[in-house]
Amino acid sequence: MDPDLHAPLGQKRPAGRRRWIRVTPSLAGGAAVTTAVLALSFYTMSEESRIRASSSGAPSEQQQTLRSEVVQSATSLSDDALRSGSGTGANVERLTTDDGAVVTKYSPGLRSGSEPLILQAPRVGQDPRLAGTPNEELLEDSPYGPLPVVGTDGLRPMDHYARPWSGARGTRIAIIVGGLGLSQTGTQRAIEELPSEITLAFAASGNSLQRWMQASRRQGHEILLQVPMEPFGSSDTEGDPNTLLVDAPQAKNLERLHEAMARITGYTGIMNHLGGRLLSNVDALEPLLRDVSARGLLFLDDGSSARSTSGTLAKTMDLPHAFADMTLDGQVETAAILRKLDDLERLALRKGSAIGVASAFDESVQAIRQWVQEASRRGIEIVGVSALADDPTGYRAEVNQ
């Protein structure tokens, strides 16, 4: 038997040459990467052990410093938000890590009451997807039809149906084109061709007003309702039988106003048609404007009467009010209207804003469309008339900050 069979394994092997491993650059790089991975894993496990140990024991001086940075947010909200319910705001916790990064953590703060925290931000402008649909919460039934009303949450039709604007404090111009609804072809042309920034005013005596309202609102226009008012030198039997008259009983004038209001929905305010005599009579005008104010609407005075008292009365009843600065198409000629629009722009550059009114003549529509395209390139912002109304409540001013 071979004695080597009983020898321990690995012993009495014949001597041979030593084998050397040649270290190549690729092999050295792989070894370095392996070493780095092992070192990183060891460091990570060590850090986790240290964090667990520190969290289970007394807090370190650094942790105490970090915890001292917990702050309580202010109890008051911004000027353009209303708050109901008690509370002290959210907890804001800022932690600084070892590498200098700051981690901010927000959590609900404690409230003294059990009621929920409700934030109510002012709303301006209707959802474009619903622009042609009236908000039922801003309407009330009447013998004449649906009338505008302030919502139970305080939302006014003026704000809900307003055309949104940028809020920038640049030069702003509002242009109102009135008389829509009287001519079917003229109304359709104005709605389709005028830029959506133009405010459209519908005559209360027009036809198919609700259909035209929906078409104009879907195009993005803000709209007004034009109500006929008694001018100087007319009698009760002349003109529109629904004209508001100085000598008519107050109840009769309110009835006529409500009949006009119920013919259409989705408007931000009332605009006079003529009305020099009525606008100059405080006793006849005051109850009408008070009704407009109570319904959350604005009043636009077309500026045609120098004796108008609408501005003075508006301040006594918190009525959003605006005066037109000039009539653009006193001369119904495209070139003349373009010159008036240039005058309106110069006035706006001096004042910061200006309002112009026109009728839905073909020449007016053509001139306004051409001028608006040019004015926008000069940095002029065309806005809905509600953006320029003087609102004594300050609501619009807060929203547009």
Q: What is the pLDDT of residues 258-316, one digit of tens each?
A: 999 999 999 999 999 999 999 999 999 999 999 999 999 999 999 999 999 999 999 99
Whose tokens are 């309002």? That residue is 355
Q: Considering the chain, what is the average pLDDT of its residues?
A: 79
| Domain-embedded: residue 219 | yes
Residue-wise pLDDT tens digits, 28-50: 555 554 555 555 555 555 555 55
| Domain-embedded: residue 163 | yes
Residue that finishes a domain, picked among 77, 101, 121:
121
Q: By the 8 A CB rule, do 368 and 198 touch? A: yes
Of 5, 334, 375, the closest CA to residue 174 belongs to 375
| Domain-embedded: residue 87 | yes
Residues 145 and 113 reside in one and the same domain: no
What is the rounded average pLDDT of the residues 168-189?
Answer: 95
pLDDT at 130: 72
| Domain-embedded: residue 46 | no
Band of the pLDDT at 132, cuts 50, 70, 90? confident
Band of the pLDDT at 347, cuts 50, 70, 90? very high
| Domain-embedded: residue 44 | no
| 243 backbone φψ class: left, alpha, beta (φ>0; ψ -120 to 50) | beta
State CA 294 to chain mean position distance. Answer: 23
pLDDT at 109: 54
Determine the Cα–Cα distance for residues 85 and 87; give it in Å rounded to an integer.
Answer: 7
Overall number of domains in the chain: 2
Residues 112 and 193 reside in one and the same domain: no
Residue-wise pLDDT tens digits, 232-250: 986 554 568 899 999 999 9
Determine the Cα–Cα distance for residues 286 and 316; give it in Å rounded to an integer.
Answer: 10
Residues 243 and 94 reside in one and the same domain: no
Residues 356 and 242 reside in one and the same domain: yes
Residues 273 and 290 reside in one and the same domain: yes
Residue that finishes a domain, picked among 121, 137, 164:
121
What is the rounded average pLDDT of the residues 15-30?
Answer: 49
| Domain-embedded: residue 9 | no
Residues 88 and 163 reside in one and the same domain: no
Determine the Cα–Cα distance for residues 59 and 196; give it in Å rounded to an integer.
Answer: 64
**Does the structure show a pLDDT above 90 at 175?**
yes
| Domain-embedded: residue 382 | yes
What is the rounded average pLDDT of the residues 64-77?
Answer: 40
- What lies within 8 Å, CB to CB, of 344 at 6+ separation is 173, 175, 325, 326, 328, 354, 356
Token pair in block for residue 178: 């009135």
**Does the structure show a pLDDT above 60 at 319?**
yes
pLDDT at 14: 46
Residues 200 and 324 reside in one and the same domain: yes
**C-alpha angle 137-140-144 in degrees, rounded to nearest 5:** 145
**Does the structure show a pLDDT above 60 at 336?**
yes
**Does the structure show a pLDDT above 90 at 231?**
yes
Residues 385 and 300 reside in one and the same domain: yes
Residues 103 and 200 reside in one and the same domain: no
- What lies within 8 Å, CB to CB, of 239 at 6+ separation is 228, 274
Per the structure, the complete domain to which residue 84 belongs is given by: 61-121
Whether this model's pTM surpasses 0.85: no
Q: By the 8 A CB rule, do 357 and 176 touch? A: yes
Q: By the 8 A CB rule, do 269 and 323 touch? A: no
pLDDT at 134: 87
| Domain-embedded: residue 241 | yes
Q: By the 8 A CB rule, do 202 and 382 touch? A: no
pLDDT at 67: 42
- What lies within 8 Å, CB to CB, of 137 at 6+ separation is 151, 152, 155
- What lies within 8 Å, CB to CB, of 355 at 6+ separation is 173, 174, 175, 176, 300, 322, 323, 324, 325, 385, 388
CATH of the domain at 174: 3.20.20.370
pLDDT at 241: 86
Residues 387 and 356 reside in one and the same domain: yes
Q: By the 8 A CB rule, do 189 and 369 touch? A: no
Residues 194 and 242 reside in one and the same domain: yes
Of 96, 44, 90, 47, the closest CA to residue 69 belongs to 96
Which amino acid is residue 47, in one-letter code? Answer: E
Q: 286-322 burial, b if ≥16 CB within 10 A, otherwise e? A: bebbbbbbebbbbbbbbbbbeebbbeebbeeeebbbb
Residue 271 pairs with which residues in a beta bridge?
Answer: 226, 300
**How many residues does the structure list for the chain?**
401
Residues 176 and 96 reside in one and the same domain: no
Residue that finishes a domain, picked among 95, 121, 147:
121
